[in-house]
Structure 1
Amino acid sequence: MRVTGSVGPLGIATSVLWLSVIVLLPLAALTYHSFGNGWSGFWDAVSAPGALDALKVTVFVSVIVAVVNVVMGTLIAWVLVRDDFPGKGIVNALIDLPFALPTIVASIVLLALYGPDSPVGVHLYATQPALVVALAFVTLPFVVRSVQPVLIEVDRDVEQAAASLGADNWTIFRRIILPTLAPSIISGGGLAFARAIGEYGSVVLIGGGIPKRTQMASQYIQQQIEVDRPVNAAAVSVALLVISFAVLLVLRLFADRTARKEQESR
């Protein structure tokens, strides 16, 4: 098979080696360890009542967070692109703060703000809304940064033409802008979901970790490690890995399909 491109075989080999060391080997080791008690042991660990409860809470809350991010992230991206206001540059910089801030710090701040001694009178400690708030914070940038560049490139002349023909703002957004933004919105929402699935730091304090109510899968994994059940912890970790990989694979296939349609339409 002929290798083409600007980096050549050496560059490709280096990339594959680095990817293997950083990603593939650790994931392979995790998967191997999760089957330490055989397939039946793996299934028992994943299907245990505590594990199922944690996975249900995790998926449910992550779906809500993804939906919230789709709506609010698109709105924020719209404001940053289409509106001018004092402090816009600061707001734009703050969007990336969750990427730089240790997530445990977010949990401490949220606990101080919405915990039992809330200074604003909002008590969310050990509730699922607390998980939603915490995860919405750490996943906010995904939709905003996915939608922003696409929104910048939207042809404003088409919008003006539609307005001149009598279309109202909602019709213009629904018929012209939204179809263009849809791939980036879906991609950002999917990334937010995949990120929320495995989050630990931001929910560890404010969530409370109550089984069947607010215990996320990551907290359940930590609990299994503490009681010296590393195989069970690895099995649930693999379950999270499969869910996240499936979401990312669907997003990749969707992006490729969208790209092909765009090329065919040109």
Structure 2
Amino acid sequence: MNAMFRGKAWSFGFRTAVILYFVCLIILPVTGIYVQSFSEGIASFLASVFDPLAWKAVFLTAKLAMIATIVNVIFGTITGWVLVRYTFPGRRLLNSVVDLPFALPTAVGGLLILLLLGPGSLVGGWAEKLGSPLVFHEPAIVLAMVFVTFPFVIRGVQPLLEEMDQSQEEAAYTMGTSRARTFLTVIFPSMLPGIVSGAMLAFSRGLAEFGAVVLVAGNIPGKTLVASVYIFGEIESNNQQGAAAVSVILLTMSFLILWTVNNVAARRFQR
């Protein structure tokens, strides 16, 4: 009886500790941002959100994050397919390197892009001569977002390909179906949930990227100033309410994306 009581006490204490940890780490900071954004009234909130520099920064960030997501969907799907379906020398190493953006500080990623594509580099020098500089312009921002979000689609696709029953694929080939049609009708629908969830996570991560972007963006208001750098600038200018207001927009977008991802995952689990 005492052992059962102690077991229940331990279980209750463990659950309480987890809930408190979650509240302190997630709930309170998120609530604080929303409270701070409306601290000076809704009129001040709307003025901060609809400030021309603010909404241009948010729009630019969403546009570039979408471009980076499309790039990741295309190349991430291909990479996931190759890692699962083909065996070749260095496959394990390549599979490990995929997670490098998760382990590498994002500022280091931005520095790598700056060194590889900057005016002093070979590629950057060619781009300058062609009149299309890369660093401190939108292409560098997209590349930085692609770098930090590269693993999401790959890791979303890989488990689905590994779990997929290949008997349906073989049956389609036996019936004379072409490889392209088999991919579109049999393989791609199985991969689609992973592609969608990975793409949404990549887009959400791209919206909030700061470390890799700040080094290569140029931070020109209305042209290369992204939302995360704008928020940092507002804090540096002692405008915490304005920074919180723009943060709320990004935070709400991320919540909607995560909710959609969870729904996609739940539907896949039910199937």
Q: Shorter chain as normaliser: what TM range?
A: over 0.9
The aligned residue for residue 52 of structure 2 is 49
Alignment size in residue pairs: 256
Partner residue of 2:185 out of 142, 156, 175: 175
In 1, Cα distance between equivalents of 2:181 and 2:24: 50
The aligned residue for residue 206 of structure 1 is 216
Partner residue of 1:136 out of 112, 130, 146: 146
Q: Which has a greater percent of helix?
A: 2
Cα shift at 1:167: 0.9
The aligned residue for residue 191 of structure 1 is 201
Partner residue of 2:250 out of 240, 246, 257: 240
Alpha-carbon RMSD across the aligned residues, in angstroms, is: 1.5
In 2, Cα distance between equivalents of 1:14 and 1:234: 29
Cα shift at 1:12: 2.9
- 1:182-233 Cα shifts (integer Å, max 9, x gaps): 1111000000011011000011111111111211100000111111111111
| 3-state SS, counterpart of residue 211 of structure 2 | coil
**1:67 and 2:77 aligned:** no
The aligned residue for residue 93 of structure 1 is 96
The aligned residue for residue 229 of structure 2 is 219
In 1, Cα distance between equivalents of 2:87 and 2:252: 42
- 1:53-81 Cα shifts (integer Å, max 9, x gaps): 00000111111111111111110000100
In 2, Cα distance between equivalents of 1:57 and 1:225: 20
Cα shift at 1:108: 0.8
The aligned residue for residue 40 of structure 1 is 43
Cα shift at 1:168: 1.2
| 3-state SS, counterpart of residue 262 of structure 2 | helix
The aligned residue for residue 253 of structure 1 is 263
* Aligned residue type for 1:68: V
* Aligned residue type for 1:53: K
- 1:132-176 Cα shifts (integer Å, max 9, x gaps): 111001001111111111111111221111111111111111000
Identity over the aligned pairs, expressed in percent?
40
Partner residue of 1:25 out of 28, 41, 44: 28
TM-score normalized by the length of structure 2: 0.91
Cα shift at 1:178: 0.7
Q: Structure 1, unaligned stretches of length 5 or more?
A: 1-6
* Aligned residue type for 2:105: P
* Aligned residue type for 1:199: E
* Aligned residue type for 1:177: I
